[in-house]
C-alpha cells in the first residue's frame, strides 16, 4: 500500500478472481466459461463495430436495450446493460445500501458480495445455509436489508424455485431484492417476469456463462423503470460509456441468435448430468447443481489436494479454502471430451491414493484422509443426492 491510499480503503480486501494462467495449455474448468465459441454472426458484428472505434459508443446502448427487452419480455426502460454483471452488483450496492440499509446474503455464496459491502462501508448480514447447502427462503423474509441471492447459488449450484423467490420479494417490499441469475439458463427458473409486478426486484444477468461472451464483458440489470433510472444515474456518474461499441453489437447479435445459446445450455446440462454419474461412480458426493458447474467432494482426498493433483495434470478447477466448503471443488462443465479427461485424471489420482493406503510402510499423503470429515452446520440435514 502506498502512503497515498485513502484511509477509507486502508483495510480493503480485494476480490480474487479465478486464476487465468498463461504458462501452458490447461483444460479450464475453474471460471465457469462456456466451452462453445460465439457464433459467426457475433464475430461479424464485432468486426463491423471495430471499424467505428474512433467514435464513442452509444452511452444509452439503445439498440442493445431494445434487443434485450424483446428477448426478456420487458420494455427497454427496464434494462441496463453493464460491463459484466459484477458492475451492476456494484451499482446496486451503491444505489440501494447505506449506513441505514445493510445488505443480507447467504454466508456461502458469490465472494464479490462481501467485497462490495466492505468497499462501500455497508454493514453485512451473512445468513448460513442449511446443512445440505440449500437456502431456506424463510431466513430472508422481512429482513429490513437489501437482499442479494444468487439463483442458482454459487458455488453450490442449488436453485430456489420461482415461488420461493417470489415469497422473498413479496416479504421485503420496503427493500430491494437482487436476484443474481448468472447461472439461471442452465436449469433454474428466472424471476425476470416478476420485475413487471414488483417494484423492489432487480434481476441481474450475465452473458459470460450461457452466452459465450466472458471476454467481452456484458451483463444486464432488469427491473422496473424507477430502479433502472437509479442504477443509470450511478452508471452515468461513474462510467457513462460502460459497455464498449464492440460489446454492444456483440450483444445485439447474440440476442438475435438466442436459440443457439439455449441449445448450448441444454448440451451443458446434459454433460453435467453425465459427468455427475461418472464422478459418483468414483465415490464423489455432489450437490444438486442446476448450473454449469458441479460442486463435489470425495471422502478420501481433501479439496485442496485434489485441486493440486488435477492442476499438475493440466486441469484447473476452483477450490475455496474457507469453511464450510474447504472439502469441496467447483468444477465447470466443459465440453464432453474435457470432462472425460477430468474423470480419467480423478480416477488415476484416487487409484494412487488407495494403493498408498494398502501399503503399511507408506504414511498417508498430506491432505489425504481415511475418514470423511463431518461438517457441523447450522441445520441438521443430510446432503441430498443431486
Question: How far, CA to CA in Å, does 74 sit from each of 68, 71, 84, 169, 262?
Answer: 8, 8, 20, 18, 19
Write out the binding residues for ligand PMP, residues 91-110 only, by CB under 6 A.
110
Between CA 366 and CA 301 the distance in angstroms is: 9
Q: Which stretch binds ligand PMP (CB under 6 A): 56-64, 80-88, 187-195, 268-276?
A: 80-88
DSSP line for 74-112: S-GGGEEEESSHHHHHHHHHHHH--SSS-EEEESSS-TH
Q: How far is CA 236 from the centre of its chain?
A: 26
Between CA 126 and CA 284 the distance in angstroms is: 29
Closest approach, Cβ 251 to ligand PMP, in A, equals 12
Residue 294: φ, ψ to 5°: -110, 150
Residues 166-205, mask of contacts with ligand PMP (x by CB under 6 A): --------------x-x-----------------------
Residue in 92, 104, 148, 150 binding ligand PMP, rule: CB under 6 A: 150
Q: Looking at beta carbons only, is 309 or 330 nearer to ligand PMP?
A: 330
CB atoms within 10 A of CB 311: 16
Q: Which stretch binds ligand PMP (CB under 6 A): 78-86, 189-197, 245-253, 353-361?
A: 78-86
Q: How far is CA 124 from the centre of its chain?
A: 20
114 lies in the site for ligand PMP, by CB under 6 A: no
- Pick from 14, 83, 12, 41: which is nearest to 239 by CA? 83
219 lies in the site for ligand PMP, by CB under 6 A: yes
Q: Are 172 and 200 in contact (CB under 8 A)?
A: yes
Write out the binding residues for ligand PMP, residues 286-315 only, by CB under 6 A.
none
Residue 149: φ, ψ to 5°: -135, 125
Closest approach, Cβ 37 to ligand PMP, in A, equals 17
Write out the binding residues for ligand PMP, residues 335-364 only, by CB under 6 A.
none
Q: Which stretch binds ligand PMP (CB under 6 A): 65-73, 82-90, 258-266, 320-328?
A: 82-90
247 lies in the site for ligand PMP, by CB under 6 A: no
Q: Which stretch binds ligand PMP (CB under 6 A): 34-42, 56-64, 83-91, 305-313?
A: 83-91
Residues that bind ligand PMP (CB under 6 A): 84-86, 110, 150, 154, 180, 182, 206, 208, 214, 219
Amino acid at each position: 500500500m502506498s502512503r497515498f491510499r485513502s484511509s477509507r480503503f486502508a483495510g480493503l480486501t480485494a476480490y480474487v478472481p479465478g486464476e487465468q494462467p498463461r504458462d501452458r495449455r490447461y483444460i479450464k474448468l475453474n471460471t465457469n466459461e462456456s466451452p462453445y465459441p460465439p457464433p459467426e454472426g457475433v464475430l461479424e458484428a464485432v468486426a463491423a463495430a471495430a471499424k467505428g472505434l474512433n467514435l464513442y459508443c452509444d452511452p444509452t446502448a439503445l439498440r442493445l436495450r431494445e434487443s434485450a427487452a424483446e428477448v426478456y419480455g420487458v420494455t427497454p426502460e427496464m434494462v441496463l446493460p453493464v460491463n459484466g454483471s459484477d458492475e451492476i452488483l456494484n451499482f446496486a450496492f451503491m444505489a440501494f445500501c447505506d449506513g441505514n440499509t445493510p445488505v443480507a446474503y447467504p454466508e456461502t455464496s458469490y465472494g464479490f458480495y462481501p467485497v462490495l459491502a466492505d468497499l462501500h462501508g455497508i454493514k453485512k448480514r451473512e445468513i448460513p445455509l442449511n446443512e445440505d447447502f440449500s437456502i431456506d427462503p424463510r431466513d430472508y423474509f422481512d429482513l429490513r436489508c437489501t437482499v442479494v441471492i444468487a439463483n442458482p447459488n454459487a458455488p453450490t449450484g442449488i436453485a430456489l424455485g420461482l415461488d420461493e423467490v417470489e415469497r422473498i420479494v413479496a416479504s421485503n417490499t420496503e427493500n430491494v431484492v437482487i436476484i443474481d441469475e448468472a447461472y439461471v439458463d442452465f436449469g433454474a427458473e428466472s424471476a425476470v417476469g416478476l420485475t413487471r409486478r414488483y417494484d423492489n426486484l432487480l434481476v441481474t444477468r450475465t452473458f459470460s456463462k450461457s452466452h459465450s461472451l466472458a471476454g467481452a464483458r456484458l451483463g444486464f440489470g432488469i427491473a422496473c423503470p424507477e430502479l433502472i433510472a437509479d442504477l443509470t444515474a450511478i452508471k452515468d456518474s461513474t462510467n457513462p460509456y460502460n459497455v464498449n461499441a464492440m460489446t454492444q453489437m456483440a450483444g445485439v447479435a447474440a440476442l438475435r441468435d438466442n436459440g443457439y445459446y439455449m441449445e448450448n445450455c441444454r448440451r451443458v446440462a446434459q454433460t453435467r448430468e453425465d459427468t455427475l454419474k461418472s464422478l459418483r461412480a468414483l465415490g464423489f458426493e455432489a450437490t444438486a447443481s442446476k448450473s454449469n458447474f458441479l460442486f463435489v467432494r470425495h471422502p478420501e482426498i481433501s479439496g485442496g489436494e485434489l485441486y493440486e493433483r488435477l492442476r499438475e495434470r493440466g486441469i484447473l478447477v476452483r477450490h475455496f479454502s474457507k469453511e464450510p466448503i474447504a472439502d469441496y471443488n467447483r468444477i465447470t462443465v466443459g465440453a464432453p471430451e474435457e470432462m472425460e479427461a477430468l474423470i480419467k485424471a480423478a480416477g488415476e489420482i484416487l487409484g494412487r491414493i488407495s494403493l498408498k493406503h494398502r501399503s503399511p510402510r507408506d504414511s498417508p499423503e498430506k491432505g489425504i484422509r481415511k475418514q470423511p470429515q463431518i461438517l457441523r452446520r447450522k441445520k441438521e440435514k443430510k446432503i441430498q443426492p443431486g
